[in-house]
Amino acid sequence: MPFVLSADRQREMTAILARYPNRQAACIPVLHLCQDQEGYVSEDAIIFVAEKLAMSPAQVKGIVTFYTLFNTEPVGKHQVWVCRTLSCALRGAQDIIAHCEKKLGVHVGQTTRDGKVTLRTAECLASCGTAPMMQVDKRYYENLTQAEVDRILDRILLDA
Amino acid sequence: MLKAVKILTKMYDVPEGWTLRAYERAGGYQAARKAFGMTQAALVEEMKKANVRGRGGAGFPAGVKWGFMKPDPVKPAYLVVNADEGEPGTFKDRTLMEKDPHRCVEGSIIASYAIGAHVCYIYVRDELHLSKDRLWGAIREAKDKGYIGARPFGNDYAVDVFVHTGAGAYICGEETALLESLEGKRGEPRLKPPFPAQRGVFGCPTTVNNLETIAAVPTVVEMGGEAFSKLSSLHHLNDGGTRLFGVSGHVKKPGIFEACVGLTLRELIYDLGGGISSGELLGVIPGGSSCPVLLPSERVHAPDEKSVLHPWHGQSVLDVPLGVDTFRNLGTMLGTCCAIVFSDKTCPVAVMQNLMAFYRHESCGQCTPCREGTGWIDRIVTKLLQGTASLAEVDQIHDIGSGIMGNTICAFGEGAAMPALGLVRKFRRHFEDHANKKPCPAGGRLQA
Ligand SMILES: Cc1cc2nc3c(=O)[nH]c(=O)nc-3n(C[C@H](O)[C@H](O)[C@H](O)COP(=O)(O)O)c2cc1C
Ligand code: SF4
Ligand code: FES
C-alpha cells in the first residue's frame, strides 16, 4: 500500500514546507513525521517523501541512512536510549546498561520479544551534569539509580 | 577569579521563567527595541567591542564574524543558530533553551537585523524535545505580540525565526555540515573556503553562531559592548563578558554555572563543582571531549614576558583563567567551557577508549585519515584494555593521530586526534603498563 501521512501530519508538513525557500530543506523534518507515524521509515515512506519534495528516492535513502535516529526497520513500541559517553560512563553508565539488558532480557540493539522495548546506547545527549541518564521516547530521565531504572522500565513494560 | 553573576541565567530560578510574561517583567525585549533604533553597523561595532568569543568551541570573535556579512544585491542573508550541542561533556545550551528561550529568540531577532538577515533558523538536535518545545513556545508568543513577523516592534524590517531539527549526528554541529543538514542533505562538511559568510545555506551569505553566543546579544545591546567585555578579567585579551561554565564527571556538584570570563579550572572544580567526589583529581578535559587533557601536576612554563601565559609562569595549570587564548597557549583548548573531570580511581586508557568509540561512530566518513584513523585507534585501545596490544601499537597511536592532523576536510579530525595524542602522551605510563599486561589499579574502569 502506498504510504500516506495522516491528516494532521499532512497539515504539519504543509506548515514545515512554508519555512524554507525550497522543498528539499524540509526533508529531515518530514522524515520525522513519517517515523512518528510508523515507528520507522519504510521504503514506501521514502518514495512518498521523494515525490513530495521533488527528490530521488536514492537521495532520500542516503539521508535516512546517514542519521542515527532514523530507523530503517520496525522497532519496539518504546525506545530506550542509555547514554554511554564519557561523563555518563564516569558515573556508572555501564552498570545502567547492564541492568537494562538484564531486566529486559535483550542485548543493546535488540527489541524485547513482545515488541515493546528497543534498547540502545546513545552518544552524549547533553545531560552530562545529571549523569547517568537515559532517554525513553521523548523524555529524559537523569541522575539514574538502578531502582529508578526499574520503575521506569516497569511502567513501559506494563503499558499495553 | 570567581565572579559569579546572573545575566544569562537571570531567569533560571524564576517560576515559569520561560514565558513571555516572566521575561518581559524582568525587562525582556527592551534590548530588541533599542537595537532597532540603532544602525546595523553600530550593532556590529558594539558586538566587536563586547569581545564575545564564539561559545561553540572555536572562540572566533562574534562581532568580527558579523562584519564579514556583505549585502548581496540579489541573494538574501541568513542567520543560523547552532544548538546542536553534541560535544561530549557539553550541556550548557540546553539550559538556555529550556529555562530562557525568550533570551534566545530576542538575541536571534537582534542578530538577524544586525547582519541583514530576515530569516533565522535555530538548529536544535532532535533529542532535545523540551528545548524545541520551549523555543517554539517562545517564538509563538513573540509572534503573537508582533515582535517577530513583518514589522517587529513596529519597524519596517521583517524577521522570521524557525526551529529546525537534526536527526542524531554529532558532525552536524560542525557549521558546514549543519548547513548541509539544514538544506536537507547528509551532514557532510564542506571544504572551506568558501566560508558561510560568502556561501552559506541555500548558496546565500550566512552567519552561524552558537546559541550561547546569540544569548549574550541582548545584554551586549543593553549594557553596551565595552561594559559587557569589562565584566571579564581577560578583557585585555579581547575575551569578554560572562559565560556558562559546566563541570561533569567525578565532582560532588556537577552542573552549569554562570561566571565572568576569567574563572579558573580550580574554581570550577572545587568552588563551583564542590571538589572531587571520590579519590584525587587525575585529569581534566577542559572544554568538551575534543580538548586535550590537563593534569593537576602540570605547571605553566612561560618565561617570555611577551607570552600570554607569562603572568601565570610557574603556577599550576588549574590556576590559569579559562580563556580562548590562555588555553590555546597551554596546548589545549577552551572549547565549550564544559569540563570533564576524572579521579585517580579511573583508568585513563578506558577514558581514551570511551572517547575513541565516540569519534569512530560519529566520523562522517568523507576523509580516509579520519574514518580509518578513528577506527584504528579505537581498535588499539580496546585491545590494550583486553591486554592483547603491544608497546609498538601504543607508539602507533602517535603516527595515526599525526596522520589525521591537517589532512581532513573539517576540524572533527583534529578534534579526535588531539585528545588521543594528549592522553597517550600524558598517561604514557598507564598505556605502557597495559601493553606490558601489568595489573591496572583502576581495573580498566571508568566509574570512581
Ligand atoms: C566536529 C565539530 C562539532 C561541532 N559541534 C558544535 C556544536 O554542537 N555546537 C556549536 O555551537 N558549535 C559546534 N561546532 C563549532 C561550529 O563549527 C562553529 O564554529 C560554531 O557554531 C560557530 O559559532 P560561534 O562562533 O558562535 O561559536 C563544532 C565544530 C566541529 C568541528
Ligand atoms: S574530518 Fe572526519 S568528520 Fe570531518 S569531513 Fe572528514 S571524515 Fe567527515
Ligand atoms: S555524556 Fe551522557 S549526556 Fe553527555
Q: Are the beta carbons of A90 and B168 separated by less than 8 Å?
A: no
Quickly tell me which residue has 531502582 as its cell.
A147
Give the nearest chain A residue to B246 (CA atoms).
Answer: A129
CA angle B129, A131, B288 (to 5 degrees): 85
CA distances to A12, A82, B212, B448 from B77, rounded to whole Å, are 26, 39, 21, 50
Query: Does position A1 have pLDDT exceeding 90, yes or no?
Result: no
Q: What is the DSSP string of B199-249?
A: S-GGGS-EEEEEHHHHHTHHHHHHH-HHHHHTTSTTGGGT--SEEEEEEEE
d(CA B448, CA A87): 12
Query: Does position A160 have pLDDT exceeding 70, yes or no?
Result: no
B410 lines ligand 2 (CB under 6 A): yes
Q: Of B32, B30, B26, which is closest to residue B12 (Cα–Cα)?
A: B26
Average pLDDT along chain B: 97
- How big is chain B, counted in residues? 448
Contacts of A26 in chain B (CB under 8 A): 184
Could you report the per-residue pLDDT of B221-274, keeping only the tens digit for each? 999 999 999 999 999 999 999 999 999 999 999 999 999 999 999 999 999 999
Q: Are the beta carbons of A124 and B249 separated by less than 8 Å?
A: no
The percent of residues above 90 in pLDDT, for chain A, comes to 98
Could you report the per-residue pLDDT of A77-129, keeping only the tens digit for each? 999 999 999 999 999 999 999 999 999 999 999 999 999 999 999 999 999 99
Taking residue A137's Cβ as centre, other Cβ atoms within 10 Å add up to 11
d(CA B25, CA B184): 39
Q: Are the beta carbons of A124 and B358 separated by less than 8 Å?
A: yes
Cβ neighbors of A151 (< 8 A, separation 6 or more) are: none
Could you report the per-residue pLDDT of B162-219, keeping only the tens digit for each? 999 999 999 999 999 999 999 999 999 999 999 999 999 999 999 999 999 999 999 9
A7-11, Cβ contacts within 8 angstroms, sequence gap of 24 or more: A9/A33, A9/A36, A9/A37
Contacts of A31 in chain B (CB under 8 A): 167
User: Which runs of E-coded beta strand occur in B222-354?
Assistant: 242-249, 255-260, 281-285, 338-343
d(CA B8, CA B230): 16
- The residue-averaged pLDDT of A57-75 equals 97
Per DSSP, the three-state class of B412 is helix
The one-letter amino acid code at B42 reads A
Could you report the per-residue pLDDT of B92-149, keeping only the tens digit for each? 999 999 999 999 999 999 999 999 999 999 999 999 999 999 999 999 999 999 999 9
Distance from CA of A122 to the nearest CA of B (A): 9
C-alpha cell at B158: 521583517
Reported ipTM: the value is 0.98
Ligand whose nearest atom lies closest to the CA of B216 = 1
